[in-house]
Structure 1
Amino acid sequence: MGIALSHRKLVSKSSAPSLCAGLRSIPFLLALAFLSYPSRVDSQTTYQEELKLANEASNSKRFEEAISHYRRVFEDTASRAIPRSVLVEAQTGLASAYFMLHRYRESLDTLKPLIPSSEIASRKQIPSEAWLVQGLDYLELNQLADAIYSFRQCLARDPNSANARLALGDALARSDRLEEAAKEYEDQTRRTPSLADAWYKLGLAHSALADGLLGDSERKSSGNVVALQLVAEELLNKGSNLLAAKSLFHLLHDAASHAGAHADLGHALLELGYAKSAESQFHKELAVDPNSPLAQFDLAQIAALRGDWDEVSAELGKVSGLYPRAFRLLLEFPPAGLLRQAWIEKKTQIPTTFAGSSSGELWKAWLDGSEVTAAPAQKKTSASGSCLGNILSPPGAWLPEACYEVLRVRL
């Protein structure tokens, strides 16, 4: 018993000092850990602070200062676990700062680790901003093919990037690919109608295209007005209304009374939304060619915008009576944008008096976008007596189809 007690006491005495020492050391260890914690956190957050300072400097256009902060993000990367997203942001920001200082080669070198030429699969992970900066570098260095590729990669990731789309247009224009450039500018005007730069660039592209087309046409045709008109009508068929309008203005400057030119110009202006200017051109056309089906048909569209349904009925009656085949062809094209929009928004309403007629039913189906199978039945226009006057009309003027049939039989 005594031995046991003495052994227990011995054990207690021998173990107590080490336990107490351990307990006494805990506060010291906690204090040591606490004191070391801020420095460890600080080492982890330094790159975040540097990145924040770099972005602030860049946004304030202090690009040299921004470059210094971006570089510090990359210091001692081996000893710190920096997320890839941070490194990508820093590389892109650093490249952007170099670009703003016109240091394009350094900008490209900064992006090389991010956009390796050999690792095609990894390109999916590259952000659109990096492709944009690379494209701008190449554009400034006049490496146009590389710039076009980079801008297309950027737009594949961010189709709404106005900077990339306009820069792509610039690269295409400088590569003598004006039609492609105009398409990019036009696409941007649809996406951001209030962006003046897009409209300005589109106007320049169209002007250059028109000058080139007119120059080529003049050289090939030696001033042949008909050839110039065919060029303009081809542009109208492609939907290049602004370009067609400019071509027709050039044509009418030299041949103001050329049959068909005012009607084509009026049609282009109507498609562009200038109804009053278009109406003026149609009346000029009718002064040269009183039976122009295009002028009469488009005047019917303008009358519908005004709500003048008597004129709509009268103009449609003229076209369908004199030119039933041409009338059917005109109905294959969609309504002018202004009229189509007014119809969709129910700003244009067909009165019951007109809606119940054959022309009214046809007109409504056309505005609805339904298939129009036939023109309304009209009384055949007499060809006797009046054909001689039509035959002697100015070259290029429309000959009523009834007169054409008479001539075809006689010849």
Structure 2
Amino acid sequence: MLQKAYTAYVGSFQDLRREVWLLALITLINRAGTMVIPFLSLYLTENRNFSLEEVGWILSCFGLGSVAGSWLGGKLVDRIGHYKTMTLSLMVSGVFFIFLQFPTSFWGICAGIFMVMLVADAFRPAVFVAINAYSKPENRTRSITLIRLAINLGFSAGPALGGLIIAGAGYSGLFWVDGITCVLAGFLLLWLLHPKKAIENPKEITLFPKAVMQDKPFLVFLGAMVLFGFVFLQYFSTMPLFYARIHALTEFEIGVLLGLNGFLIFLFEMPLIKYLEAKNRSPLAHVITGSILVAISFLLINLTGWAGVLVVGMLFLSLGEMIAFPFSNSFALKRAEGGKQGSYMALYSIAFSIGHIFGHNSGMQLINKFGYTLTWNVMIFLSLVSCGLIVYTMAMVKKENGTPLMELSQSK
């Protein structure tokens, strides 16, 4: 039984190109150092003594920088290519992360957060386009999943390590480690990965690409992703405060709980995606399933004050994330096949960046005025609205193509 499970797990990683594995390694090193982000709300409240309202506005600057960075990354990808864009983003953001520890005023931190995210999130549309360039069409969703595994393995180790660093060296150590790992990832990109090894796909080159802003199904899909991001990101801003203030968890315990998310994804996402790819379902149908599971995680937390429910909630969140993100990425890349991949993937990244702008701030303001219970209920409602928009997107795509949605799965 165990041998069969092991064989199936290893088999889910087969047929992926060497360049995809190298890209995953670079992403792993980069994200392993991104330990500042999960502790940012705690850092601002406990170390810098900002109020929840002020933290909300600072995190809005985080989101604004993310939006600007995703837009900038998309433009750079279409002009100078994904390779140069990723390299610049990693190198410069590493330096900016180190300097982020020095501002102390409200506006200084707002400006610092904005500049860090402006540069750091230029990496996001670039890495999506790189996945498409280095992977075979039939392996694209699993290639996306491998990169996500690298991201989540980094996030699994990062928060746990971050809690230890805070205990031993304070928050300053987080910024140094974060910056150094970004620069290291940049050097590895220059050393190991070369743009000439990308797969040429003639579908991606067209003299008259369809205007992204005229792609109505894609825009509705982006609206659903904004709401999904709004809800999902609560686990990395307001939820750590809930853990600390309501359940009295230490920073190390919070790091371990957040790390559980990445560990579960590392173990189960790839075989799960391979299993789901074999089903005759639209990628968007899988996104709906993932969004519902995330909503259930908030529902469970509201049902009881038992501390163990935090682990159960994290399990549902992780399962929902495992399903929703790879297939939403897959759908976005499929829509981008007509041209302007940088623009499409920039808008896809911006959808989650908008979640950063409004999600963190709104979550903080809701908690400050109405408490955690109402805030989690709002997240449940927004998840259901997101599901409704995805259903509408599916109907638009079916009408657009005049074929069953299952035929639109890019895994086929």
- After TM superposition, the score normalised by the length of structure 1 is 0.22
Higher relative contact order (CA 8 A, sep 6+): 2
- After TM superposition, the score normalised by the length of structure 2 is 0.22
